[in-house]
Amino acid sequence: MAVAALTARGSLLQTLGLTRTFGGLQAVRSVDFRLLPGEIHAIIGPNGAGKTTLVNLISGRLAPDAGRVFFNGRDITHLRAPDRVGLGIVSTSQSISIYRRLTVFENVALAAQRRLMQRLAERVALNRRALAEEVAASLDRVGLGGAADATAGALPYGHQRLLEIAMTLALRPRLLILDEPTQGLAPDEIGALVALIRRVARDVTVLLIEHNVTVVLELSHRITVMDKGRILAEGAPDEIEAHAEVQRVYLGA
Amino acid sequence: MTGRGMLIVHVALLALLWVLQFVLPPFHHGMVARILVLAAYAIGYNVLLGYTGLMSLGHAMFFAAGVYGAGLLVYYSAAGAVSGLLAGVLAGLGLAVILGLLSLRTTGATFLLVTMMFGQVGYLLTLYFNRITLGDQGLILSGRLEPLRVGAIDVTLSNPAVRFNAALLIFGLCLLLSLWLARSPVGRVLVAIRENEERTRMLGYDTFRYKLFALVLSGGICSLSGAAYALLFAYVGNTFASILYSIYPLLWTLLGGAGTTFGPLAGTALMSYAIDVASGLTSAYLMVVGLVLVVTILWFPSGIVGSLRARRWRWLP
């Protein structure tokens, strides 16, 4: 097929002509976007540039009006969000999305048990020890090891963000999509989160929407700049910093 | 608390209920048997409301599917109690699958209204097929039910002792099923859907399928209870298909504590005795029932067992 030839080899994720309209507003206009395996890739741009819409089209929260999405060479355009999670596309939303009334353990267990309950017998009764180990490992990775019995909604804001990341890690993602992860965090928490994302990125490809320019320049291998639903520029951090039009539109220089 | 600990607590309750039959005077003996069967109905309702967060006002249709499935078969054929029970449960399961595929596209108030409409359709069908069901006059099963043969012994279901233990058996089965659900990975997903369905989808769960499972399990338990009720109390009538029998399990569950394993029994027992005491005092006994509900919702918004869990025993499933 011609489309197969169009998808570049070596990319983990690729979109072709992706378009989404809300009423009269074209939030994402014919976007061709590529993610390389192993990279930390940031999408930046002013408010309303279409960043969140683009990642929602990738995660399956939204369906496109036109265009295609390929993951690992497979056309996933019509795959529903839960099935994309099964392929390893895991995302967090802009506002922290956890089960506030459940314990920290239960929150992570929900993510961890998904892989453990493939067969009918495992749906009926799960290996509790294996589950507990999975949960503990995910909580330890984000530094919440001691908080397993706390009620999620009672955690400090920064810890809720870490819990959300622990849940995504328990799903064993291949592509992790983070929508403004540093929003609302204190400066020292941001530093810890940047270190965590870098550790995670050793074996997971990370796609990041982020307003904090310092974080973006520090973390990313590549940056995509969006404006008015289109890709304005793409490149390594130093190239983006030097890009005249980007400076005009976004960096405000 | 460990899984074994919880199992022991639940079995201990069943043992306590079993002992009750030797100490209760005849009137309460029959009353408790009735409460046990209806509490099984509430357990089925609680699967959907308490653990999945879906409020239905059409569950009388499942209870009635059990009542009519079992009752009509026994009344019009030579079938025994076991075939009647099976017929009732199969009718309920089939109905739940159809209703689920149609109604689970909606949630919240829309789901409530859609289930209520289907419930009313069920009620009207019992009138439409008046010649078979005899509508609100109903059918008396007494004398039509062959005794169950267990080994060499004949067991008559209308015998009070048999009735009590059969009711306890049905209730115990449903109680242990709900304990399993509360502790199982599937139950964890249902609770997650109750708390935040969109988040649960983004954890990779096909929430529609889980909700359908919950509805079918709920419909199955409710129709089992309905079938047992028809067989044990030997009566089939269309009050069981009326909206009142959709409201009852909702009230029992809220009063006892939605999303708890013991709540349905606590709510059913308290409400049944409140109605019993009140109707001895005044003909406006439903006002007393209303008062109990207002007090519960004001001071125990999560129900009796739910409040106990929040204040004292956090381990309660």
pLDDT tens column, B240-251: 999 999 999 999
Rounded Cα distance between B216 and B42, Å, is 15
**Rounded mean pLDDT, A146-167:** 94
Assign A33 to helix, strand or coil.
Answer: strand
Q: What percent of chain A has pLDDT over 90?
A: 71
- Which two tokens mark B60? 């009388």
Residue A93: pLDDT over 90: no
Residue B7: pLDDT over 80: yes
What residues 172-231 of chain A have any CB closer than 8 A to a CB of chain B?
A: none
**Chain A residue with the nearest C-alpha to that of B196:** A99
Q: Is B204 on the interface with A (CB under 8 A)?
A: yes
Q: Is A109 on the interface with B (CB under 8 A)?
A: yes
Identify the pLDDT of residue B298.
86
**Chain A residue with the nearest C-alpha to that of B199:** A97
Identify the pLDDT of residue A2.
46
pLDDT band at B4 (very low <50, low <70, confident <90, very high): confident
Q: Which residue has the tokens 């009852």?
A: B248
Q: Is A89 on the interface with B (CB under 8 A)?
A: no
A124/B188 touch (CB, cutoff 8 Å), yes or no: no
In chain A, what residues touch B3 (CB-CB under 8 Å)? 128
Q: Is A101 on the interface with B (CB under 8 A)?
A: yes
Identify the pLDDT of residue B152.
66
pLDDT tens column, B194-223: 999 999 999 999 999 999 999 999 999 999
pLDDT tens column, A195-252: 999 999 999 999 999 988 889 999 999 999 999 999 999 999 988 888 877 777 665 5
pLDDT tens column, A98-135: 999 999 999 999 999 988 887 777 777 778 888 999 99
pLDDT band at B291 (very low <50, low <70, confident <90, very high): confident
Identify the pLDDT of residue B149.
67
Q: How far is CA B190 from the centre of its chain?
A: 19
Phi, psi of B291 (to 5 degrees): -65, -45
pLDDT band at A253 (very low <50, low <70, confident <90, very high): very low
Identify the pLDDT of residue B151.
64
Identify the pLDDT of residue B76.
85
| Strand order, beta sheet including A175-179 | A89-91, A175-179, A205-209, A40-44, A222-227, A230-235
B202/A98 touch (CB, cutoff 8 Å), yes or no: no
pLDDT band at A5 (very low <50, low <70, confident <90, very high): very low
Q: Is A96 on the interface with B (CB under 8 A)?
A: no
pLDDT band at B43 (very low <50, low <70, confident <90, very high): very high
Q: Which residue has the higher pLDDT, B81 or A154?
A: A154
Rounded Cα distance between B210 and A113, Å, is 15
pLDDT tens column, B253-269: 999 999 999 999 999 99
**Half-sphere exposure (CA, 13 Å, Cβ side) for B99?**
33
Identify the pLDDT of residue A80.
93
pLDDT tens column, A27-44: 999 999 999 999 999 999
Gap from A252 CA to chain B (nearest CA, Å): 35
Q: In a mutagenesis test of the B interface, which of A89, A93, A99, A179 is the best target, namely the one with the most B β-carbons within 10 Å?
A: A99
Alpha helices in chain A (DSSP H): 2-6, 51-59, 81-87, 104-116, 120-124, 128-142, 157-170, 187-200, 213-219, 237-242, 244-246
Rounded Cα distance between A133 and A108, Å, is 11
Residue B157: pLDDT over 90: no
- Which two tokens mark B192? 């997650």
Q: In a mutagenesis test of the A interface, which of B203, B208, B302 is the best target, namely the one with the most A β-carbons within 10 Å?
A: B203
Q: Is A127 on the interface with B (CB under 8 A)?
A: no
The mean predicted confidence, pLDDT, of chain A is: 89
Nearest to B185 among A86, A91, A126 (CB): A126
Q: Is A120 on the interface with B (CB under 8 A)?
A: no
Identify the pLDDT of residue A1.
43
Query: Which candidate, A246, A242, A182, places its Cα nearest to that of A215?
Result: A182
The mean predicted confidence, pLDDT, of chain B is: 90
Which of A153-167, B65-79, B180-194 bottoms out in mean pLDDT, i.e. has the lowest? B65-79
pLDDT tens column, B120-156: 999 999 888 888 888 778 888 877 777 676 666 777 7
Identify the pLDDT of residue B245.
94
Q: In a mutagenesis test of the A interface, which of B190, B202, B208, B213 is the best target, namely the one with the most A β-carbons within 10 Å?
A: B202
- The predicted complex's ipTM stands at 0.86
Task: Read off the pTM.
Answer: 0.90
Gap from B317 CA to chain A (nearest CA, Å): 13
- Which two tokens mark A43? 């999408």
Identify the pLDDT of residue A252.
56
Count of CB contacts below 8 A, A vs B?
A: 65
Q: How far is CA A193 from the centre of its chain?
A: 14
Gap from A118 CA to chain B (nearest CA, Å): 11
**Chain B residue with the nearest C-alpha to that of A92:** B202
